[in-house]
Amino acid sequence: MADIAPVLKAVVPAAGLGTRFLPATKATPKEMLPIVDKPAIQYVVEEAVDAGLSDVLMITGRSKRSIEDHFDRAYELEEALRAKGDDERLEAVHESSDLAIMHYVRQGEPRGLGHAVHCARQHVGREPFAVLLGDDMIDARDKLLRRMIEVRGQYGGSVIALMEVEPDQVSAYGCAAIEATDEDDVVRISDLVEKPAAEEAPSNWIIIGRYVCDPAVFDVLEKTPPGRGGEIQLTDALRTLADMPADQGGGVYGVKFRGRRYDTGNKLEYLRTVVQFAADRPDLAPEFLPWLREFVRTQDGVGDTADS
């Protein structure tokens, strides 16, 4: 079996243009849009740290400097808060800058997720690593990434997170052909298809934005031609790894995730996520939920287009 070294590093691709959220993302990275009072990207970094990965490489692009600033110290702001005795907000400011050891590299041009991951090669070296996509947020109470790292330690190879969806949804995601193992939540991946038509999908288990990759993925990505959309797809590289022998870093496994996942990749799902997080906050829920119930009650029938 290939080297079963511990997973210690996380890679977070954050170079996308965020066109679905224009004009808000013209000057503000989509990853910095707030979920209540914390940018979405911070939740992702917190998840990596909670799984034991305090070395985080962010793959950024032009106009993404505010991400770096968010995870850096803000001395003037800290001094102003300290002078006012505002310890609560000072602690919140420190939280992001003390969270992890942050590194940054720019993806020079948007050539797909596979290309973004390949940009991490020099930093990661020959170590296994996790990839966390910012559009997918996993509830902090559901330890998906920890479980994936456990599976990597047990089976070797690479590990992807899978979630079951209705058949009409598979065309929006990468989709996996799976084979059972002795563990209920672990499957072996025999094939992967990027955004298949519903009738061509090998299953209704889709890939969500968490991966634990063997370093062999870098050599495969280097030889992977552009795929769907003219971009270098990580799914295509993982498909190659699934057919490679274990002693060369091959083999791909899936963890079936049945927990709480939040999608911030489009406006509707982003709004749902904000409402769900606000409703779960003990400092906001007592006032927010009664207001929300009343608002929904007063909206009954608004927007209906059926003839009376």
pLDDT digits (tens, 9 = 90+) for 1-34: 445 889 999 999 998 888 899 999 998 999 999 9
Residues 74 and 210 in one domain: yes
pLDDT value for 243: 92
- The count of other CB atoms within 10 Å of the CB of residue 113 is 25
Residues 38 and 91 in one domain: yes
Residues 256 and 240 in one domain: yes
pLDDT value for 197: 85
| Spans in the chain with pLDDT lower than 70 | 1-3, 301-308
pLDDT value for 2: 47
Residues 45 and 190 in one domain: yes
pLDDT value for 66: 93
Residues 228 and 108 in one domain: yes
What CATH number did the domain enclosing 156 receive?
3.90.550.10
Strand intervals (E) in 151-245: 158-164, 174-180, 186-194, 205-213
Residues 143 and 234 in one domain: yes
- Angle separating helix axes 144-155 and 40-50, nearest 10 degrees: 40
pLDDT digits (tens, 9 = 90+) for 43-80: 999 999 999 999 999 999 888 899 999 999 999 999 99
* Structural domain that includes position 280: 269-307
pLDDT value for 56: 97
User: Does the residue 4 lie in any domain?
Assistant: no
User: Does the residue 179 lie in any domain?
Assistant: yes
Residues 225 and 289 in one domain: no
pTM over 0.85: yes
Measure Cα distances from 240 to 151, 189, 262 in Å.
20, 11, 29
Residues 248 and 229 in one domain: yes
